[in-house]
Amino acid sequence: MRIPILSIHPIKVLRTPRHFSSKSASRASKNRSLSSARPLPQEEVESDWGTIHDYKQRAMIPYHPARLAPSIQERTSAAQEMTLSYAGTVPIPITSNLQLIQPEDDTPRGIWPVYRLMVSTHRRRPQNALRTLEQDGEIRDPAYDGINQPVLRPDVTTPDDVEDNLDQFRAFLAHAHPYQSDEIQKSGLLRASKYPYVDTNSNNTLLRAHRQIVRLRQMDDILLNAQRQGRISFYLTCRGEEAILMGAASALEVGDPVFAQYREQGVLMWRGFTLEQFTNQCFSNILDLGKGRQMPIHYGSRALNYHTVSSPLGTQLPHAVGAAYRLKLAGEPNVAVCFFGDGSTSTPDFHSALNFAATLNAPAIFLCRNNGYAISTPTSDQFAGDGVISRAPGYGMAGVRVDGNDIFAVHAAVREAKQYALSKNAPVLIEAMTYRQGHHSTSDDSSQYRSVDEVLTTTENHDPLNRLEAFLKKHDLLSEEDVEVMRKQERNDVVKAMEQAERRPPVPMRELFTDVYHDMPLHLQRQQAQLEAHVKKYPEKYA
Amino acid sequence: MKILLHSLPRRSWLTARRPLSHLTMATDPTIMSVTSSAQGMNMFQAVNDAMKIALETDPTAIVFGEDVAFGGVFRCSQGLQERFGKDRVFNTPISENGIAGFAIGYAATGGTAIGEIQFADYIYPAMDQLVNEMAKFRYRSGNQWQAGGATLRMPAGAVGHGGHYHSQSPEAYLAHTAGLTVVMPSSPKAAKGLLLASIRSKDPVIFLEPKALYRSAVESVPLGDYEVELGKARILREGSDVTLVGWGAQIQRLQKACDLAKEMDGIDCELIDLQTIVPWDAEAVEQSVLKTGKLVVSHEAPITCGFGAEVVAELQERCFWALEAPIKRVCGFDTPFPLVFEKYYLPDETRNLEAIREVVRSSR
C-alpha cells in the first residue's frame, strides 16, 4: 500500500465533524482554542507551539486530585494520580501536562508530574499493578483511567473508527483535548520537513522516525548476532529506548552538538550516519572514522555534530556545559544536548555539570534515559530520592519528566526544552522513563538479575515501536504489509552493509601513532620507527 | 640587559624591586627579541600579562576557575574581569572535574579555554577528565574532534610552608598520560612565553607554575606578544664536567649548586631546564651528556617514579657507553610533603652539590 504523503496544515475547525455529538459540535463551532479556553497567567512566553506556562500561576491550582476544579483544563491539570510502575523501579504518579518546572517556583507537592499523551476513550482499563498502557497506540484521557473516581466525559464521544488522516485527527484533538492536544498538533513530528529525507524520499517526519526505528532494530539485532558469532568483539543495543532517541533527535538540529553516553546510536542514525558507517566502526576497518582505535559502538561524527563516544560514564556532561557556554558566547541559536542513563546520575561529573550549567547559565539540555538498570543495578539501588528529576530544583534548573516510550512526548519535551534553554540561557533536565529491553551489552546476561518474564511483559506493554506502529496503523498511515516489507528491506540493507564492512581491509599500522598530538613528536616518531622495523623483521607474526 | 633605576617610571609597591640575594636570574638568549620595551615583572605579573594578551588577541578566549574573578588567590588574574567582562573571566563552583570538563567542551566547540586549578594538589578529581577525555579526545575520534584550545594552569611546588596539600608537583602523574603536554617554567620571562605558547598550542596543555616564584622571582619581561617554543629545553649554563637537569623552582637551587661547585671544587656544570616535561627534549640532554659524560637529575617530587626516573632511563639507553659515572637523582623523599621538615625534604643546593661531587669523584 502506498503510504500517502500528507500535507500538513495548521489546524482549523472549518466544519463540524459528523461523528461528534451535537453538544461537542456546538462547542466546536465556538472555536475554542487553547488561548481562549483558560485564564492566561500573567507571565507567559510565546513560542512557536503555543505558550509556555508559568508554573507559578498553575501552582495555584490545587495539586491534590481530591480538590478538582470545575473546568476541563483545571481538572486535567490536577488529574487523577495514576501510578506507572516499570519493573524494578519505584512507582511514579502521573499527571498529564507538560510543564517545564522552573527553578524559582515552589517545589510541587508530591512527586514530579509526568507528561503523558492521553485521548479520551470510553473503555475503562482494569486496575493492576503493572498498568497496561497504550497497547493500541491510542491516546487516552487520564480522567477515564482514574483509579478511584472515573470521570465521565459526556460531552465528547469517542468515535469507534478514528479519523483516517492526520488532518482530521488534529481536528479531533482540537475539540476533545485542546490543552494536551496542542502539543501533538504542533508537534514537529507531524510537520513535513522542508526537504525530502534522503533515506525515505518523503517529507513525512513521523514516518521517517518509524522507518529509522525499524532500521535501528534490525541493525541492533544483526550486529548483536554478529558479536555472538565472533565477527565483532562487542555490541550494545538500545532496544526499548528508540522513542527517546528518535523523538529527541527529531526535535534538534545538526547545529546542536550531541554528547552521548553510548546507547544513542538512534540519534546518530537520525542525523544521517549510514549503515555503512556504523558497520565500518564496528568492524574497525579502513573506512572507520575513528581509525579503529576504539571498541565497537564508540561512534563519532564531526560532520553530524556528534561527539565521539567514550566509555567512562558521565564524563560527557561537563563537556556539554562547556560547549553550551561557547555557543552562548558565540550567539549561536543552538543548544548542547547530552544523553546519559540513570546510573550516570550518580557520577561526580553529573553533579559538577548540572551545577556549572545552572550557575554559568549555559543553554544545555541534559536528557536522562532512565531505563531502570545500570548493568545489574536497579534504580532502587542507584538513588533514594525521587528519580533524577527531583535534583533539578536542587541545582536551580528547570526540568520535566516524560514518558520515554512515547515519541510525541519526548519530542515535545526536547523541543520545548530547547526553546526554554535558548530564550533564558538556562539548562534543562529531562528525565525520560523507559525500559532497557536488552542486556546491558554483549558482555552481560541480564537473566542473572531480572526475570525473563519481566522483560517480556514490559516489552509487550511498553514497547515504543509497537506503540508507534499501532498509532500509525490506527490512522491508516501504515499497514502491516508495509511494515513487513520495510523490515525485510532494512534487514537486507544491514546485512549487506555488514558483509561489505567485514571484507574491507583493516586500518594501517601507522595510525597507531598519529593524532596523539597534532604534530607527531620526536619520541613517537622513534617508537614508530622501532615498531616498523620489528614488524618488518617478523612479518608472519603480525600478519 | 641593565636598566638604570632612575630612567624607569615610578614603580608601585606591587612591582617594586625586591632583594634578590637568594636568586640569580639568568637572562635567556634563546627567547626571541621583541621590539617593545620590557618591564621588571615577577611571575604572577608575567602570567597575568600573558593571559591579558591571550584575551586581547583571541576573542574566544575565556579565563575561569575558583576565585579568578577578583584576581585569584595568587593575583594571576588581577584586572582581567574588569577589562574583559564577566562573560569571559568568571568564577566556577568548586569542582576540578567540572573545570577540566568544561574546558574540554569549550575547546572542542572552537574556543580557547584557560582554566585555573587553585593548587596542583587538587588536580586529582580532574584526573578522569584529563586522562580519559582530554588526552584522548583527538586520538579516539580519528582526528575529527580535538580539545587543543584547553589549557589548565595551576600553582605547583614547594612554597616554604605548604605542607601536604599546597606543595605538590604532580608532573609525573600527568607525564605518564599519552596525549597531554605538561609545561613548567622556571622564570617569569619563560613563564609568559611558555604560557602564550601553551594557550595557542594545538594540543591541550597542563601548565604548572612554581608558586614559590610568583613574587620572589623578578625578571625583565618583554611587554609584547612572544612565545617560547614548547618541547624545547633551554641550556641555562654551559659546562663540560657535569650535566644537571631540572625544572621549575628547582632550577634556582641548581643554579646555586652550580655556583658552589665552581667556587669550591672548580667543577664546570651544564644546567638544562627542561621547560616542557612531556613531550620532553631528550635530544638536548643527550647532546649534553655525550659531552660531559655525567648526569644529575633533580626535582622536588618524590624520587620513586618521579619524572627524573624517565630522564635517567632514557639517557642510560642512549648514552650508556658515554657515561663515566652512574646517573644520580636528587629528589624529594618517598613521603608526603612535610611541613616542618621541608628544609630536610627539599633537594636543596647542598644535596645537589654533594651529588655533583660524587659523580665527579666516581667518574672514570
Distances (CA, A) of B306 to A27, A148, B171, B185, B289: 81, 70, 8, 18, 20
pLDDT value of position A471: 76
Q: How confident is the model at residue A142 (pLDDT cuts 50, 70, 90)?
A: very low
Query: Residues A397, A525: one domain?
Result: no
Q: What is the pLDDT of residue A172?
A: 52
Q: Give the residue from chain A lying closest to B204, CA to CA.
A: A517
**Could you tell me if B101 and B133 are in contact, meaning their C-beta atoms sit under 8 angstroms apart?**
yes
Would you say residue A26 lies in a domain?
Answer: no
- 3 state DSSP class of A157: coil
Q: Are residues B186 and B61 in the same domain?
A: yes
Residue by residue, DSSP assigns A488-504 as HHHHHHHHHHHHHHHHS
What is the tens place of the pLDDT at every residue in A233-255? 999 999 999 999 999 999 999 99
Cβ distance of A523 and B282 shorter than 8 Å: yes
Q: A176 vs chain B: nearest CA distance in angstroms?
A: 46
Collect all residues of chain B within an 8 Å Cβ-Cβ radius of residue A323.
105-106, 108-109
In chain A, which residues have their Cβ closer than 8 Å to the Cβ of B108? 307, 319, 322-323
Give ipTM to 2 decimals: 0.89
State the pairing for strand pair B150-156/B205-210: parallel
Asked if residue A441 and residue A370 are part of one domain, the reply reads yes
Top mean pLDDT of A48-62, A176-190, B161-175 is at: B161-175
Instruction: Enumerate residues 509 to 538 of chain A having a beta carbon within 8 A of any beta carbon in chain B.
Output: 514-519, 521-524
**Domain-located, residue B308:** yes
Q: Which of B96, B116, B310, B342 is catalytic?
A: B96
DSSP string covering A129-154 = SS----TT-----GGGG-SS-----T
Cβ(A304)–Cβ(A345) under 8 Å? no
The pLDDT, as a whole number, for residue A2 is: 38
Average pLDDT over residues A198-215: 86
* Mean pLDDT, range A96-117, rounded to an integer: 46
Domain check: are A278 and A400 in the same one? yes
Q: Strand B269-273 vs strand A377-378: parallel, antiparallel, or unpaired?
A: unpaired
Query: Does pLDDT of A426 surpass 50?
Result: yes
Three-state DSSP state, B84: helix
- Decide if B132 and A310 are in contact by the 8 Å CB cutoff: yes
Nearest Cα neighbor of A51 from A188, A192, A182 is A182
Does residue A521 share a domain with residue A485?
no
- Domain assignment of residue A536, given as a range: 508-542
Whether A39 is in a domain gets the answer no
Of A329, A336, A353, the CB nearest to B101: A353
| Domain count along chain B | 2
Chain A segment 313-332 residues within 8 A of B by beta carbon are 315, 317-327, 329-330
By the 10 Å C-beta count (0-12 exposed, 13-18 middle, 19+ buried), A534 is classed as exposed
Q: Three-class SS of residue A39?
A: coil
Contact partners, residue A41, CB within 8 Å, separation at least 6: A53, A54, A56, A57, A58
Cis before B279? omega within 30: yes
Residues A476 and A348 in one domain: yes
The enclosing domain of A434 has a CATH number of: 3.40.50.970
Has residue A317 been placed in a domain? yes
- Indicate whether A322 and A390 sit together in one domain: yes
Taking each helix axis from N to C end, the angle separating A22-29 and A166-176, rounded to the nearest 10 degrees, works out to 90
In this prediction, residue A457 carries a pLDDT of: 85
What confidence category does residue B31 fall into, taking pLDDT thresholds of 50, 70 and 90? very low
Q: Indicate if the pLDDT at residue A212 is higher than 90.
A: yes
pLDDT digits (tens, 9 = 90+) for A262-284: 999 999 999 989 999 999 999 99
Residue A162 forms part of a structural domain: no
Q: Which residues of B141-173 are buried (b: 16+ CB within 10 A; e: fewer)?
A: bbbbbbbbbbbbbbbbbbbeebbeebbbbbbbb
| Domain shared by A452 and A519, yes or no | no
**In B, residues 85-144, which contact A (CB 8 Å cutoff)?**
87-88, 90, 92-93, 95, 97-98, 100-111, 113, 125, 128-129, 132-133, 136-144
Cell, residue B263: 667556587
Residue B261 and residue B205 share a domain: no
Contacts of A193 (CB under 8 A, 6+ apart): A203, A204, A205, A208
CB pairs under 8 A between A and B: 160
pLDDT-derived band of residue A103, with 50, 70 and 90 as boundaries?
low
Q: Among the options B116, B133, B166, B227, which is catalytic?
A: B166
Does the distance separating the beta carbons of A315 and B128 come in below 8 Å? yes
User: What is the spatial distance between Cα A13 and Cα B118, in angstroms, rounded to a whole number?
Assistant: 63
Residue A90 lies in a domain: no
A435-467 tens-digit pLDDT: 999 999 999 999 999 999 989 988 887 788 988
Cell numbers of A137, please?
497506540
B9 pLDDT above the threshold of 70? no
* Per-residue pLDDT tens digits for A315-367: 999 999 999 999 999 999 999 999 999 999 999 999 999 999 999 999 999 99
Contacts of B142 in chain A (CB under 8 A): 288-291, 293, 300, 308, 515
Query: B249 pLDDT exceeds 50?
Result: yes
B197/B261 same-domain check: no
- Nearest CB to A322 within list B109, B132, B283: B109
Of A167 and A123, more confident: A167
- Residue B182 located in a structural domain: yes
Tell me what pLDDT residue B101 has.
98
DSSP A295-327: -TT---BTTTTBPPP-SSTTTHHHHHHHHHHHH
Q: Which domain holds residue B194?
A: 27-222
Q: What's the rounded mean pLDDT across residues B22-47?
A: 67
- What CATH number is attached to the domain comprising B264? 3.40.50.920
Tens of pLDDT, residues B68-109: 999 999 999 999 999 999 999 999 999 999 999 999 999 999
CA A197, A199, A202 angle in degrees (round to 5)?
45
Helices then strands, each counted (H, E), chain B:
13, 14
Last residue of one domain, picked from the residues B222, B254, B276: B222
**Whether A300 contacts A309, CB under 8 Å:** yes
Give the CATH number, domain containing residue B126.
Answer: 3.40.50.970
For the cut 70, the answer to whether the pLDDT of residue B29 exceeds it is no
User: What does the pLDDT read at residue A151?
Assistant: 34
Q: Higher pLDDT residue, A223 or B11?
A: A223
Beta strands, E only, A225-279: 258-259
B45 shares its domain with B153: yes
Contact B97 A320 (CB under 8 A): no
Q: Report the pLDDT averaged over residues A119-148.
A: 33
Same domain membership, residue B204 and residue B115: yes
CB A254 within 8 A of CB A305: yes
Nearest beta carbon to residue A293 from set B107, B108, B142: B142
pLDDT, residue A309, reads 97
Length of chain A as a residue count: 543
Contact flag B136-A349 (C-beta cutoff 8 Å): no
Judged against a pLDDT cut of 70, whether residue A226 lies above it is answered with yes
Same domain membership, residue B311 and residue B239: yes
Flag whether B266 is in a domain: yes
pLDDT tier at A161, thresholds 50, 70, 90: very low
Asked if residue A18 belongs to a domain, the reply is no
pLDDT score recorded for residue A182? 56
Q: Are B98 and A300 an interchain contact pair (Cβ–Cβ within 8 Å)?
A: no
- The reply to whether B17 falls in a domain is no
Interface test with B, best of A317, A355, A356 (most B CBs within 10 A): A356
Look-up of cell digits 526553546: A419
| pLDDT score of A319 | 98
Are residues B197 and B238 both part of a single domain?
A: no
| Residue A451 sits in the same domain as residue A318 | yes
Mean pLDDT over A94-121 rounds to 43
Do residues A501 and A512 both lie within one domain? no
pLDDT at B56 over 60: yes
Instruction: Note whether B108 contacts A307, CB cutoff 8 Å.
Output: yes
CA quadruple A344, A271, A116, A238: dihedral sign: negative
Contact list, B179 vs chain A (CB under 8 Å): 516-517
Cell 574491507 maps to which residue?
A504
Residue B12 lies in a domain: no
Q: Which residue among B222, B254, B278 closes a domain?
A: B222
Question: Is it the case that residue A112 has pLDDT exceeding 60?
Answer: no
B66 is catalytic: no
Percent of chain A with pLDDT over 70: 66
Q: Report the share of chain A in percent with pLDDT over 90.
A: 47
- Looking at every residue in chain B, the average pLDDT score rounds to 92
Instruction: Report if residue B14 sits inside a domain.
Output: no
Residue A463 domain flag: yes
Name residues whose C-beta falls within 8 Å of residue A327's C-beta, 6 or more positions apart in sequence.
Answer: A257, A334, A335, A336, A363, B109
Q: Would you state the torsion angle of the CA atoms of residues A541, B177, B250, B241, taken in this order, to the nearest 10 degrees?
A: 10
**Residue A95: what pLDDT?**
35
Q: Residue B93 and residue A435: Cα distance in Å, rounded?
A: 34
What pLDDT score was predicted for residue A113? Answer: 46
Query: Do B103 and B126 lie in a common domain?
Result: yes
Decide if B227 is inside a domain: no
Query: For residue A434, what are the contacts with CB-CB under 8 A and spacing of at least 6?
Result: A86, A240, A241, A243, A244, A369, A370, A371, A372, A404, A405, A462, A464
- Range A375-392 average pLDDT: 85
Judge contact between A535 and A509, C-beta under 8 A: yes
Q: Across residues A152-172, what is the average pLDDT?
A: 43
Q: Do the Cβ atoms of B112 and A322 come closer than 8 Å? A: no
Grid coordinates given for A309: 563516544
**Beta strand segments in chain B, E:** 38-42, 61-65, 89-91, 112-116, 150-156, 181-183, 205-210, 218-222, 234-237, 242-246, 269-273, 276-278, 295-302, 328-332
Are residues A387 and A263 part of one domain?
A: yes
8 Å CB contact of A323 and B106: yes
Q: Which of A159-173, B30-44, B117-131 has the highest mean pLDDT?
A: B117-131
Check CB contact of B203 with chain A, cutoff 8 Å. Answer: yes
Within a domain: B10 = no
Same domain, B270 and B358: yes
Taking contacts as CB-CB distances below 8 angstroms, the residues of chain A near B132 are 310, 312, 315
Closest Cβ–Cβ partner in A321, A322, A516 for B139: A516
The average confidence (pLDDT) of chain A is: 74
Question: What is the rounded (10 degree) CA torsion for A520, A525, A531, A537?
Answer: 130
Asked which of B163, B188, B222 is the last residue of a domain, the reply is: B222
- Of all residues in chain B, the percent with pLDDT exceeding 70 is 90
Same domain, A534 and A476: no
Whole-number Å distance between alpha carbons of A12 and A9: 8
Q: Which three cell numbers stand for residue A508?
A: 594501517
User: Is A289 within 8 Å of B107 when comparing Cβ atoms?
Assistant: no
With bands split at pLDDT 50, 70 and 90, how would you rate the model's confidence at A61? Answer: very low
Three-state secondary-structure class, residue B351 = helix
Residue A359 lies in a domain: yes
Query: Which positions ≥6 away from A332 have C-beta within 8 Å?
Result: A255
B286 as an active site residue: the answer is no
Query: Would the CB atoms of A517 and B181 count as touching at under 8 Å?
Result: yes
The total domain count for chain A is 2
Confidence bin at B6 (pLDDT 50/70/90):
low
Top-confidence residue, A28 or B66: B66
Average pLDDT over residues B276-299: 98
Please tell me the predicted confidence (pLDDT) of residue B32.
47
What residue type is A520 in one-letter code? M
Cβ–Cβ below 8 Å for B111 and A518? no
| Residue B178 contacts A, CB cutoff 8 Å | yes
Same-domain pairing of B154 and B283: no
Looking at the fold, whether A265 and A342 belong to one and the same domain comes out as yes
